[in-house]
Structure 1
């Protein structure tokens, strides 16, 4: 993983990497509460299909509707690709998202970007875009 900008501390890097691991685990476990705990109250989320969700309450309504059963035909993995510290309390992390069938076969890709804000020593998602990667012909 590449890291750029002024890095506040290794602890900040570790916390952000742990946040991405929590996204991965929450999605695989279909754990809406663990996923939603990562968001600021005023967060913005744009789904892979372009649906704009404003505020954690709206994100929660959507997540609680779509996450249960989401792993019936497969699961996704999330691997940090690039981390940019814009300033000590603002970071952007690009993630490689790979969708797999239950036998482990990769089927498609996503490229989420999370805009993170640090409040009281805790990193949370302030805004995110979950983008589907369309294979080139």
Structure 2
């Protein structure tokens, strides 16, 4: 049975993720992932394991993502059992003002580990292509998701 405590704990992990990004703290960011986590970027790069996630973000924070902030918006949380949660949301990186429309769709799979802490076991990040979505929906209305109708 899912409790409000579980929802708060899962949400807290995502809030900590945003805070670690804000500090550009690759160790803290990676520490929110399970030791054997997988992380797929919007360009399709697959990182496997917490250390790979830490190392890649250390480099990203010093180069391409230097000075960026992370915007995150939870769309829904589903519990697949007492120790597994799937979170769908929107996200984006930015400098300056937070964007009104977040350009990426993200899926987090979180697990409650033996120490009782929730950690991210898998992350998938997909950049949205609104023009392509619009074209495909116009020519094939059956592709419009039920939530979008």
TM-score clears 0.5:
yes
Between Structure 1 and Structure 2, the one with more helix by share is 2
Q: Using structure 1 for the length normalisation, give the TM-score.
A: 0.84
Distance 1:89 1:130, change over 3 A: same
Which has the higher relative contact order, 1 or 2, with Cα contacts under 8 A spaced 6 or more apart?
Answer: 1
Q: Which runs of 5+ in 1 are unaligned?
A: 1-5
Residues 97, 40 of structure 1: alpha-carbon distance in 2 compared, 3 angstrom cutoff: same
Structure 2 residues not aligned, in runs of 5+: 133-149
Are 1:121 and 2:145 matched, yes or no? no
| Runs of 4+ with deviation above 6 angstroms | none
Deviation of 1:108 (Å): 5.0
For residues 26-61 of structure 1, the C-alpha deviation after alignment (integer angstroms, 9 at most, x for no partner) is 222211122111011111111111101111121122
**Which structure is higher in strand share?**
1
Q: CA deviation at 1:116?
A: 0.6
* Aligned mates of 1:117, 1:17 — CA distance in 2: 13
Q: How far apart in 2 are the matches of 1:113 and 1:92?
A: 7
Deviations 1:66-89 (A, max 9, x none): 1235243x4331121110100110
